[in-house]
Structure 1
Amino acid sequence: MQKSASSRTLTGVALVIGSCLSLPFGAAVAAQLFPVLGPWGVTSLRVAIAALLLLVIVRPRPRRWTRQQWAAALLFGLSLAAMNGFFYAAIDRIPLGPAVAIEFLGPLVLAAVLTRRLPDAVWVGVAVIGMGLLFVDGVVGAEPLDPLGVVFILIAAGFWAMYIRTSAKVGAVIPGSGGLAMGLVVAAVLLLPVGIPTATVVAADPQLLLLAGITAVLSSVIPYSFELAALRRLPQRVFGVLLSLEPAFATLAGWLILGQDASPLRLLAIALVVAASIGTTLGIRRARRRADDAEPAADSTTEPGAVPGSDRRNGPETGVFTAPIPLPD
Structure 2
Amino acid sequence: MSHARWARALPFLAVLGSVTALGLGTSLAKQHLFPQVGALGTTALRVGFSALLVVLMWRPWRRALRPGDGWAVLRYGVALGFMNLLFYQALQTIPFGIAVAIEFSGPLAVAMAGSRRAVDLLWLALAITGLALLLPLTQGVDVATLDPVGVAYALAAAACWGSYIVFGKRLSHLHAGHSVSLGLSVAALSVMPFGVAHAGASLLSPQVLMWGLVVAAISSAIPITLEMVALKRLPPSAFGIMISMEPAVAALLGMLILHEQLDARQWLAIGSIMAAAAGSSLTVRPAPTDADASQVVT
What TM-score, normalized by structure 1, do the two folds share? 0.74
* Structure 1 CA distance for aligned equivalents of residues 231 and 148 of structure 2: 33
The unaligned stretches of length 5 or more in structure 2 are 1-6
1:26 touches 1:218 (CA, 8 Å); kept in 2? yes
Residue 61 of structure 2 aligns with an amino acid whose one-letter code is R
Note the aligned Cα RMSD (angstroms): 3.3
CA-CA distance at 1:92 after TM superposition: 0.6
The AA in structure 2 aligned to 1:24 is G
Superposition deviation, residue 51 in structure 1: 0.9
Indicate the residue corresponding to 2:49 in structure 1. Answer: 49
- Per the alignment, do residues 176 and 87 of structure 1 end up closer, same or farther by CA in structure 2, a change over 3 Å counting? closer
SS in 1 for 2:80: helix
Report the Cα distance in structure 2 between the residues aligned to 1:9 and 1:105, rounded to whole angstroms.
Answer: 30
Contact 1:245 1:277 in 2 (8 A): no
CA offset digits 1:30-53 (Å, max 9, x no partner): 112112101111101111111111
* 8 Å CA contact retained: 1:97, 1:251: yes
Distance 1:164 1:10 in 2: 27
Counterparts of 1:59 and 1:50, CA distance in 2: 13
- Equivalent residues of 1:90, 1:153 under 8 A apart: yes
Moved more, 99-108 or 223-232: 223-232
Contact 1:73-1:179 within 8 A present in 2 as well: yes
2:30 aligns with 31
Amino acid at match of 2:23: P
Q: CA deviation at 1:281?
A: 4.9
Q: Secondary structure at the match of 1:129?
A: helix
Q: In the superposition, relative to structure 1, how do residues 109 and 231 fare at CA in structure 2: closer, same or farther (>3 Å)?
A: farther
Amino acid at match of 2:156: I
> Is the Cα–Cα contact under 8 Å of residues 20 and 246 in structure 1 kept in the other structure?
yes
Q: Does 1:98 align with 2:98?
A: yes
Please give the residue correspondences for 1:1-329 in structure 2 after superposition, counting only pairs within 5 Å.
16-32=15-31, 33-61=33-61, 64-135=64-135, 140-170=141-171, 172-196=172-196, 198=199, 200-204=201-205, 206-226=206-226, 234-235=235-236, 243-283=243-283, 316-318=288-290, 329=298
Provide Cα deviations, 1:249-284, integer angstroms capped at 9, x if missing partner: 111111011100010111111122223344445546
Q: Distance in 2 between matches of 1:38 and 1:101?
A: 22
State the Cα distance separating 1:89 from its structure 2 match.
Answer: 0.6
Contact 2:18–2:222 (CA under 8 A) maintained in structure 1: yes
- State the Cα deviation string for residues 209-247 of structure 1 (Å, max 9, x = none): 222112112222233455567678655x88667644222
Residue 118 (structure 1) shift: 3.2
Q: Given residue 155 of structure 1, which amino acid in structure 2 is its aligned partner?
A: A
Q: Is the 8 A contact 2:134 2:146 kept in 1?
A: no
* Distance in 2, Cα, partners of 1:192 & 1:319: 28
CA distance 1:71–1:242, shift in 2 (3 Å): farther
Give the drift of 1:94: 1.2
Q: Distance in 2 between matches of 1:181 and 1:109?
A: 26
Give unmatched runs, 5+ long, in structure 1.
1-7, 289-311
| Higher Cα radius of gyration | 1
- Between the aligned residues of both structures, percent identity stands at 36
Please say if residues 48 and 185 of structure 2, whose CA atoms lie closer than 8 Å, have aligned partners that are also in contact: yes
Encode CA deviations 1:77-97: one digit per residue, 9 max, x unaligned: 101111000100111111112
Query: C-alpha displacement at 1:148, in angstroms?
Result: 1.1
Give the aligned residue type for 1:317: T
1:292-316 Cα shifts (integer Å, max 9, x gaps): xxxxxxxxxxxxxxxxxxxx6xxx3
Tell me: CA distance 1:277–1:108, structure 2 relative to 1, closer, same or farther (3 Å): closer
Deviation at 1:176, TM superposition (A): 4.4
Aligned residues: 285
Mapped to 2, the partners of 1:68 and 1:10 lie a distance apart of 40
Determine if contact 1:123/1:280 at 8 Å carries over to the other structure.
yes
- Determine if contact 1:137/1:265 at 8 Å carries over to the other structure: no
Q: Amino acid of the residue matched to residue 110 of structure 1?
A: V
TM-score normalised to the size of structure 2?
Answer: 0.81
1:116 is displaced (CA, Å) by 4.8
Indicate how the Cα distance of structure 1 residues 181 and 119 shifts in structure 2: closer, same or farther if over 3 A, else same: same
Label 1:173 to 1:163 Cα distance change in 2 as closer, same or farther (>3 A): same
Partners of 2:240 and 2:278 within 8 A in 1: no
